[in-house]
Structure 1
Amino acid sequence: MSIEMDNLHSADGQNLANNTSNDLNNESYKLSENNDTKQEAVIERKDYNSFGFDVLIDEAKNLLNKYPVNQVRNHIEQIKEVFRQKIENDENQKKEAFLADGGDVLDFRYENSYRSKFSLVYNDYKNQLSIYHKENEKQEKENLVERLSIVDELKALYTEQNESNTQMFKSFRDLKTRWHNAGRIPASNAENVFKNYFFHLDNFYKYLDMNKELQALDYQHNLEVRYSIIKRAEELVEEENVQKALNELQYLHRLWKEEAVPVIEEKREETWQQFKAITNKIHDRKSVLNERLKKEQIVNYEKKIEIINRIKEISEATAKKSHSEWQKAIKDINDLRDAFLTIGRVPKDKNNKTWDAFKEATREFNHIKNDFYKTLKNDQQDNLKKKLALLEIAKEHKDSRDWNNSVKVIKKIQNDWKNIGHVPRKNSDKIWKEFKDTCNQFFDRYKNRQNEYNEEFEQNLVEKTELLKEFKEILIPENKEEALSLLTNFNAKWNKIGKLPNNKAEINQEYSKLYNEKLKSLQLSQNQIQDYKLQAFVDQIVANRDNRLLDDEIRKTKKVIEDLEKEINQLDNNVSFFANANANSPLLKDVYKQIDEKRTKLTNAEVKLRTLYSVEF
């Protein structure tokens, strides 16, 4: 008797040819037999284009935590491509903003902390995949041993005939179940092993032809299996997730071929037609789903074409506009770009053309924009020359004693400065600070020009001289709290006295030096000294109502915070290069040490900035 095989369709609708003992080399059947019995999980397809950087990273982590690594490849690679495109778009946007503010393209540096975080997740995926392949190779070798053992036992079952019919039938069913569950084996062994199995399986069925009792048992068992498969297939017709239903249907087809043949002649066609009809119902649902997806993709295609045309219209309309109009156009283009990326899939045959058209439209816009800002850059260089000329005038008058004339000149050039347009970004802060400081120097002298101020300053000098003498003679208590209280009182008295004549400012330096020596003698921790000095500095600002000193210190502290954040981000990026390094690596430890030190400094600077912002007069 030959092995009976119905002319089944796989779950994806492909025809699986009959397989008999004379047709064991059929490749589709052979590969089907070598598949794992374990069904793949149905992973929900999401519109990754609509996710932000942080959500994409979390999604990749969730996939690795929730599903086997071999089943998430397509999703992880799709997330990687979307992440790459978003990084590219974000870099282009920041570069555009940088150039729009007058920056030089050679000075542009792009930083994104999410890039290093995603690299860690993706490297974890690659490592897990490598481990999976190694374990899978080991498992395939173990499966080979199991399948060879099954072949030998099957051969012995009909050649040695040491068991009763009932026990032989039970052993035969057990062997088929073990074969069904054995899993993949190395490809180099598959063809020969499967040929041997089906050779002995065919021989066993020939033996069954001569043993009617065994044949009847086999027929009845296989029929029961068919009915159970049909019942489960009927349940799948109501499954909401069509793809999940198709995946399990594929498994049921394989189970039918392996466990549900042969059956008695009068039930063979009847059961097959039942199963086939249910299969067709499930495939009809897939066809409806595919048709709906096609319609959605056509709508998405039309939306994307509309966006591309809108980008082209903005490019044509903005060619000769002003800087403010260009800024609005840039924002509109960025909004259109984001909208384009959040729209779902388009028909496959239009995907590449649509993406190329989108890139070409945005590239053309950027080309026109860059031409505009090259011209604007020349204007900013002219503005820089004008402001440098005003700075020279301010320097000429900062030491002037011609008060009436110079104050008019300084006020005029301050007004002229406001009316001059933007200068290159790399020069803006520096030249503005120098101009502001120069003008402030003049107005400080202008405010102090009256004699009564000089008399007040002279009296301040007398008071500070006496206080300094007293400060030199005091003894610092051993109790730190009493000592700090004493120093605080002296510092408050000193700051309360006020300003000195310009040529006598060195007494402040002498006091500061002595003050620091006495403070150092208390052997306080670095944090205690910082807190104390900060409070003393705040007390000085409040006592003198010195807005300018407060503003300068806030600006300096902001700059320190900005520099530390950049350094920390750079070190975080460096850590990504040590993904596979030993945790005890001296180099890696040094990087983490630098990060910890800089984070401590950053925290201290942020505390200081909050304190300065809270100062009230």
Structure 2
Amino acid sequence: MLEEKDDTLPNAEDNLESTPEHTDETSTTPEETPATEETISAEETPVTEEETPATEETITAEETPVTEDVVTEEPTPEVVAETTPEVEEVTEESEQTIEEHQEAVNEVHENAAEEAEDESANERHEIPVLDYHAMSMEALVTELEKLVQNEKVQAIKDHVDGIKSEFNEKFNEVLEQSKADFLAEGGNSIDFHFSLPVKGKFNVAYNAYRSKRNDYYKSLEKDLNANLERRLALIEELKGLLNVEENINNTYKHFKKIQEEWRNAGSIPKTQYNNVWRTYHHHIERFYDFLHLNRDLRDLDFKRNYEEKQKIVARAEELSKEDDIIHAFRELQNLHRLWKEDIGPVAKELREEIWNQFSAATKLIHDRRQDYFKNIDKVYEQNLIIKEEIIAKINAISTGNYTVHNQWQNKIKEIEKLRQEFFSAGKVPLRVNEETWAKFKQAVREFNASKNTFYKSLKKEQQDNLSKKLALIELAESLKDDDDFATTTPKMKKVQADWKKIGHVPKKISDKIWKQFKNACNHYFDKLHAQKNEANKEESEALEKKKTFLDAMETFELSGDTKQDIETIKEKISEWKSIGRVPFSKKNIDNKFNKVIDGLFNKLDIDKQESELIKYTNRLENLDADKINSEIIFIRRKTDEISAEIRQLENNLQFFSNSSSNSPMLKKVHQDIDRHKKALATWKAKLAQLRSL
């Protein structure tokens, strides 16, 4: 049977004892003796002649069941003879089927044995593996410290190895760059020394991991060996029950005690797991077969064990239909451990039947799992193609020629997007996993190297920019306390404009110098604004006075004495000017005053030109130097235009040489000439006043 073949005991003959004598009522026939049909397979249990005891009984591979244990019911002493089922003829086809089933069962048992040593094996897959390549050295150290402090040391080996590899590569990059800079500045390689605080923190965390790991494995080895010795002692104790002369009930209680201690004995080295269990189970069978137990209670035990194994078979058949085959296979391993460790034997005539059912479900789950991995390999191959295309794109970007900051920033974003696509592409075949990961990291590192080279070339430019900005800060600080606002304000505005034209400076000092420059500028312009606010106060007061003065002028009446009225008007004009400037937005009040003055002059019986010049003199007081120059240019243009008009009119007189002096047309021309000459005289007088200023 498959079950028995799996449980063949290596060196099992060493553990056999001579069969004790029994009465005719309880004596066993050759068919009942567990090892009369064939000897142990040489491949599975090599035994030398010296190791084989002198006994007629030998253990067969087919008749050592896998996981059968006795039940806890305490039977009364009576053993009833049983017969071994006839052995069917094995054909070539059935041998192939048996081999396929055995392969499936062996894989389940091997995985179960692999995990028997460490109960936390499943936990290792629950700790997420982060993108260590994307993390900084500080972040890597923080993650390592967290793992060492919070997780079981046996569950984080892969995580720690990944962190260590990435940290060392990043540290070596910084080390090499620092050494290159040191040599470029004229240093000698012998004098080069480099250290980072984060390296010390990493060493502390990694040494803590190694210490905990060493302590764990020393403790584990000690515990496993102690558990092994305890289990071997229990086997010897179990063997001794066959020769004990005592009440059968006491013997059975002793047997149950051994079983309980076995269950609580703990894990043993995985290399010993199956062999030790097989030896133990063999002697469980011998105890059952040769002990004088009550047949009814024994059958009851067998019945209950059979029912429990039927439940396991039913659950295995359910798992064979489950969609999540990985979960099904893991639960199947637990079912096999229950079958082997927790459930006792069944009646011999049912052992092969129940085992074949369980084995068939096991084979079905095993085959589905194999198909799953075949199909998943196709998916992994497709993922590999996608990842290789991503790596090729990264390499293409790395070889590009980018000369400005914005181009590099765009490429950095593209690389980050490709990195995310790489991590989202899924797993690749295990055979190329490390190679693909190495190619990806190398492609990203080459891009980063090119990027770092570019930004290193900007370092000198940034230093030059820093020198220029420091010079502007010095100039701004020298001007910030100057009270000559008319002269200093244009200079400060130019300093600000020059600052904007200068490019980037090193980031670590950028904020500092900006604050220094801003404070100097703010200090000056705060003073300027304070001075303007004071001036605005005076202008507001002047505005109120002018409003009052304007109201009085609108009701002012002339005396009738032209000469006296002219002087009075001039005094009013002087008084208005003495009040001072008003806010720029209220300049219109001066225009209102001028209109009032114009109205007064119009009421006077004086020459129009004289009146015009007096009013013009009043307006000149409000002109600054730039406006005076503009006014001079305007008057010159005006005098030139009027002179040209006069010449044209005088030329036109030639057309009236034969006309009467009373001709209306001729009179009109003479009138226009006189009017233009008066206007020309007025404009010339205005120009003379401007020049006198």
Q: Normalized against structure 1, the TM-score is what?
A: 0.51
Counterpart of 1:409 in structure 2 is 491
Structure 2 residue 265 is the aligned partner of structure 1 residue 182: yes
Among 22, 32, 35, the alignment partner of 2:13 is 22
Structure 1 CA distance for aligned equivalents of residues 477 and 169 of structure 2:
45
Residues 1:47 and 1:92: Cα distance change in structure 2 (over 3 Å): farther
What does 1:475-494 align with in structure 2 at a 5 Å threshold? none
Structure 1 CA distance for aligned equivalents of residues 275 and 362 of structure 2:
32
Superposed displacement of residue 258, structure 1: 6.8
| SS of aligned partner of 1:346 | coil
Residues 1:45 and 1:199: Cα distance change in structure 2 (over 3 Å): closer
Structure 2 CA distance for aligned equivalents of residues 194 and 301 of structure 1:
43
Structure 2 residue 406 is the aligned partner of structure 1 residue 324: yes
Residues 1:292 and 1:268: Cα distance change in structure 2 (over 3 Å): same
Residues 1:219 and 1:154: Cα distance change in structure 2 (over 3 Å): farther
Counterpart of 1:382 in structure 2 is 464
Among 220, 236, 244, the alignment partner of 2:316 is 236
Q: Which amino acid aligns with 1:354?
A: T
Structure 2 CA distance for aligned equivalents of residues 447 and 158 of structure 1:
111
Structure 1 CA distance for aligned equivalents of residues 111 and 471 of structure 2:
82
Residues 1:86 and 1:128: Cα distance change in structure 2 (over 3 Å): closer
Structure 1 CA distance for aligned equivalents of residues 172 and 414 of structure 2:
15
Residues 1:445 and 1:186: Cα distance change in structure 2 (over 3 Å): closer
Residues 1:23 and 1:271: Cα distance change in structure 2 (over 3 Å): farther
Q: Which amino acid aligns with 2:399?
A: E
Structure 1 CA distance for aligned equivalents of residues 463 and 409 of structure 2:
20
> In 1, are the aligned partners of 2:239 and 2:283 still within 8 Å (CA)?
yes
Among 4, 7, 15, the alignment partner of 1:6 is 4
> In 2, are the aligned partners of 1:297 and 1:346 still within 8 Å (CA)?
yes
> In 1, are the aligned partners of 2:485 and 2:528 still within 8 Å (CA)?
yes
Residues 1:402 and 1:392: Cα distance change in structure 2 (over 3 Å): same
Residues 1:197 and 1:354: Cα distance change in structure 2 (over 3 Å): closer
Residues 1:393 and 1:229: Cα distance change in structure 2 (over 3 Å): same
Q: Which amino acid aligns with 1:6?
A: E
Structure 2 residue 237 is the aligned partner of structure 1 residue 152: yes
> In 1, are the aligned partners of 2:227 and 2:267 still within 8 Å (CA)?
no
Counterpart of 1:287 in structure 2 is 370
Structure 1 CA distance for aligned equivalents of residues 415 and 256 of structure 2:
67
Counterpart of 1:432 in structure 2 is 514
Residues 1:446 and 1:60: Cα distance change in structure 2 (over 3 Å): closer
Per-residue CA deviations over 1:88-112 (Å, capped at 9, x if unaligned) read 9999999xxxxxxxxxxx9x99999
Structure 2 residue 421 is the aligned partner of structure 1 residue 421: no
What does 1:508-523 align with in structure 2 at a 5 Å threshold? none
Cα RMSD for the two superposed structures: 6.0
Structure 2 CA distance for aligned equivalents of residues 327 and 244 of structure 1:
45
> In 2, are the aligned partners of 1:64 and 1:125 still within 8 Å (CA)?
no
Structure 2 CA distance for aligned equivalents of residues 256 and 45 of structure 1:
27
| SS of aligned partner of 2:504 | coil
> In 1, are the aligned partners of 2:112 and 2:333 still within 8 Å (CA)?
no
Structure 2 residue 396 is the aligned partner of structure 1 residue 313: yes
Residues 1:30 and 1:160: Cα distance change in structure 2 (over 3 Å): farther
Structure 1 CA distance for aligned equivalents of residues 417 and 225 of structure 2:
52
Structure 2 CA distance for aligned equivalents of residues 40 and 222 of structure 1:
34
> In 1, are the aligned partners of 2:144 and 2:163 still within 8 Å (CA)?
no
| SS of aligned partner of 2:414 | helix
Q: Which amino acid aligns with 1:274?
A: Q
Structure 2 CA distance for aligned equivalents of residues 195 and 60 of structure 1:
43
Structure 2 CA distance for aligned equivalents of residues 151 and 358 of structure 1:
58
Structure 2 residue 423 is the aligned partner of structure 1 residue 341: yes
Counterpart of 1:225 in structure 2 is 305
Counterpart of 2:444 in structure 1 is 362
Residues 1:175 and 1:217: Cα distance change in structure 2 (over 3 Å): farther
Structure 1 CA distance for aligned equivalents of residues 111 and 423 of structure 2:
39
Superposed displacement of residue 37, structure 1: 10
Alignment gaps of 5+ in structure 2:
16-43, 47-105, 175-191, 539-693
Structure 2 CA distance for aligned equivalents of residues 299 and 192 of structure 1:
43
| SS of aligned partner of 1:377 | helix
What does 1:159-174 align with in structure 2 at a 5 Å threshold? 159-164=243-248, 172=255
Residues 1:329 and 1:193: Cα distance change in structure 2 (over 3 Å): closer
Residues 1:374 and 1:327: Cα distance change in structure 2 (over 3 Å): same
Q: Which amino acid aligns with 1:159?
A: N
Counterpart of 2:525 in structure 1 is 443
Structure 2 CA distance for aligned equivalents of residues 34 and 338 of structure 1:
35
Moved more, 246-255 or 187-196: 187-196
Structure 1 CA distance for aligned equivalents of residues 363 and 518 of structure 2:
82
Counterpart of 2:358 in structure 1 is 275
Per-residue CA deviations over 1:197-229 (Å, capped at 9, x if unaligned) read 689668757856xx7x77998688557635632
Superposed displacement of residue 267, structure 1: 4.2
Per-residue CA deviations over 1:158-180 (Å, capped at 9, x if unaligned) read 2234335x876676566456545
Structure 2 CA distance for aligned equivalents of residues 390 and 61 of structure 1:
49
Query: Which has the higher Rg, Structure 1 or Structure 2?
Result: 2
| SS of aligned partner of 1:6 | helix
Q: Which amino acid aligns with 1:419?
A: K
> In 1, are the aligned partners of 2:391 and 2:443 still within 8 Å (CA)?
yes
Structure 2 CA distance for aligned equivalents of residues 38 and 390 of structure 1:
69
Structure 2 CA distance for aligned equivalents of residues 168 and 225 of structure 1:
21
Residues 1:429 and 1:83: Cα distance change in structure 2 (over 3 Å): same
> In 2, are the aligned partners of 1:21 and 1:198 still within 8 Å (CA)?
no
Counterpart of 1:498 in structure 2 is none
Superposed displacement of residue 294, structure 1: 2.4
Q: Which amino acid aligns with 2:374?
A: E
> In 1, are the aligned partners of 2:117 and 2:269 still within 8 Å (CA)?
no
Superposed displacement of residue 372, structure 1: 1.6
Per-residue CA deviations over 1:437-493 (Å, capped at 9, x if unaligned) read 33344434545668967999xxxxxxxxxxxxxxxxxxxxxxxxxxxxxxxxxxxxx
> In 2, are the aligned partners of 1:34 and 1:185 still within 8 Å (CA)?
no
Structure 2 residue 343 is the aligned partner of structure 1 residue 352: no
> In 2, are the aligned partners of 1:380 and 1:422 still within 8 Å (CA)?
yes
Structure 2 CA distance for aligned equivalents of residues 89 and 438 of structure 1:
46
Counterpart of 2:544 in structure 1 is none
Query: Percent identity among equivalent residues?
Result: 33
Higher helix content, 1 or 2: 1
> In 2, are the aligned partners of 1:394 and 1:435 still within 8 Å (CA)?
yes
Superposed displacement of residue 303, structure 1: 3.1
Q: Which amino acid aligns with 2:486?
A: N
Structure 1 CA distance for aligned equivalents of residues 316 and 399 of structure 2:
55
Superposed displacement of residue 235, structure 1: 0.9
